[in-house]
Structure 1
Amino acid sequence: MAESPRRTAAKRHYLMCRPTHFEVSYAINPWMNPDKPMDADLALAQWERIRDLYLGFGHEVSFIEPVEGLPDMVFSANGATVVDGKVLIAKFRHRERAAEADAYRAWFEEHGYSDLKVPEYVNEGEGDFAPAGRRILAGAGFRSDPGAHEELGDFFGLPVVGLELIDPRFYHLDTALFVLDEDLVAYYPAAFSEESRDVLRELYPDAVIATRQDADAFGLNAVSDGLNVVLTETATHLIGELRERGFEVHGVDMSELLKAGGAVKCITQEIRRP
């Protein structure tokens, strides 16, 4: 058996939003059901577990103040995309989340991020945009507008690889793919169009391939620092594959946040400095 590659962690800076006002009060994706009971205390404990893991890894974690009436603001990954200290603010497709963009814009302005763009096209931040080394993988099909891809590339000055999502259960790119390091991703092929699957196979011939069970468990809504991977504990096949590749895997319970269609990555926005 081939020896697993040596992995190293890179220090990251994450932005998180405490789930003070989190609830499932509307349905804008197939996972949401306002009639299904949820446990707010458990949701907070699950969020705190992720925060504590990041701090334990030595990462920097910043916090944005939650806004009453914005229950999905906990999903900070959707608020913006940050590369080289430049900030592309989100523009949400659904009116229920529209005001989140203003809250995230205000946070970045208050914290000295002056190279900031308010977009013309709908984009839902890192929900659909995944920086991978010196390229950005960009999803479309359900939320972000394909026109946002050109806007994204022009603003950051990086090549953008468009990927078409075809299964409404995997409505954001970050439900179907995540970046392990600049040369490696994990993804669920059936979430993508045939053309996009061809693109991913060409770009990432050694990619970690997830099963439907992994994807249904939101195992691909995960965060990697190059060594440590945090993901839902029920994505058991994916966890085994990642360990074989030399990653240190940290399985977590995301049961309450999953009721809104989000997991580890959704509550984690990465602030990438120059």
Structure 2
Amino acid sequence: MRMPTPPISRAYLMCPPDHFGVQYAINPWMDPGRPVDSERAGTQWRELREVLKELGHVVVQAPARRGLPDMVFTANAATVIDGRVLVATFRCPQRAGESALFEHWFRENGYQPVARARGVNEGQGDHLVANGMILAGHGLRTDSSSHEETSSYFGLPVVGLTLTDPRFFHLDTALAVLNEREIMYYPGAFSPQSLRVLRSLFPDSLEADDADAAVFGLNAISDGRRVVLPAAATGLAQRLAQRGFEPIPVEVEELLKAGGGPKCCVLDLRTPPTTRTPVPVPQTEQTEWPGARSVI
């Protein structure tokens, strides 16, 4: 049995599901005619928040806004690496109003630099850091043309991965980073070429089956040892335990009605916000970051 790395304390941004509901359909999971139990969704969200806090992580919150029911899925709000923030530009007009609100939150909480993505870029939902590179999903939400901007802004290589199954419309629904060198993913969500890339870069990774992928088992939160994942992904939990990880099951079936799970509900800030008075960011800092390369 391989020994996982020690847990790393994280800071997560969450947004309460005060206005959560399925009011439109922008992914295959959403059906406005299917009832959503708002009270139960709130309970599940709060239980997820408490689990993260009990594991020793910091949880901060952004306020919800009426008319933006998907704000609860903060993973899509931005990509945050080493304090740099690239705020999402959403493909679907139903979520476009979230960008300005999250950009304001980051500036008010002292992050710098903060910039809005020029191309369609759906934040950490499609951008996960592992082994010194950014794994970037595209093909369904984020545009592959945005990868160059992402690589340049963060100064890291980007590995583009083509998503082909509409059920797994963001990378974080089909792949989870367990630690810096180990991931788990669902092979059926990726193009043949992207699957070859993943198997080459991460040869010892855990490949999930259809049953666990279908309950969003890959939409998980890992601190290097403890893995928070949907309770319905029982097979995946067993396989994680066999590898020395500690699976932490949580109920998320109400959130799944909108195509969300544990990871969708958190944006990994890595370190807590400073809460200091933000410093204005020069225009050049917002647009150009030389010295990076993109692997697509």
TM-score range, shorter chain: over 0.9
Give the drift of 1:114: 2.2
8 Å contact 2:5–2:179 — kept in the other structure? no
Aligned to 1:156: 154
Q: Equivalent of 1:126, from 124, 131, 140?
A: 124
Give the drift of 1:7: 3.8
Q: Equivalent of 2:237, from 219, 236, 239?
A: 239
- 2:220 maps to 1:222: yes
Structure 2 Cα separation of the partners of residues 141 and 98 of structure 1: 19
* RMSD after superposition: 1.1
Aligned to 1:147: 145
* Structure 2 residue matching 1:256: 3-state secondary structure: helix
Give the drift of 1:4: 4.1
8 Å contact 1:7–1:247 — kept in the other structure? no
Show the 5 A alignment for 1:164-179: 164-179=162-177
Give the drift of 1:134: 1.3
Aligned to 1:264: 262
Structure 2 Cα separation of the partners of residues 85 and 132 of structure 1: 17
1:12-68 CA-partner distances (Å, limit 9, x unpaired)? 010000000000000000000000011111001100111001110111111000011
TM-score of the pair, normalised by structure 1: 0.97
Amino acid at match of 1:134: G
Distance 1:270 1:6, change over 3 A: closer
Aligned to 2:56: 58
Amino acid at match of 1:150: E
Structure 2 Cα separation of the partners of residues 185 and 50 of structure 1: 22
How many percent identity over aligned positions?
51
8 Å contact 2:76–2:267 — kept in the other structure? yes
Amino acid at match of 1:99: G
Show the 5 A alignment for 1:193-212: 193-212=191-210
Give the drift of 1:70: 0.4
8 Å contact 2:7–2:225 — kept in the other structure? yes
Q: Equivalent of 1:71, from 60, 69, 72?
A: 69
Amino acid at match of 1:125: G
Q: Equivalent of 2:107, from 89, 109, 112?
A: 109
Structure 2 Cα separation of the partners of residues 118 and 36 of structure 1: 34
Structure 1 Cα separation of the partners of residues 176 and 147 of structure 2: 18
Give the drift of 1:241: 0.9
Structure 1 Cα separation of the partners of residues 20 and 92 of structure 2: 17
Amino acid at match of 1:208: L
Amino acid at match of 2:205: A
Distance 1:179 1:189, change over 3 A: same
Structure 2 Cα separation of the partners of residues 266 and 26 of structure 1: 18
8 Å contact 1:89–1:117 — kept in the other structure? yes
The aligned length equals: 272
Aligned to 1:28: 26
Amino acid at match of 1:62: V
Structure 2 Cα separation of the partners of residues 20 and 118 of structure 1: 25
* Structure 2 residue matching 1:14: 3-state secondary structure: strand
Unaligned runs of 5+ in 1: none
Aligned to 1:9: 7
8 Å contact 1:232–1:251 — kept in the other structure? yes
Unaligned runs of 5+ in 2: 273-296
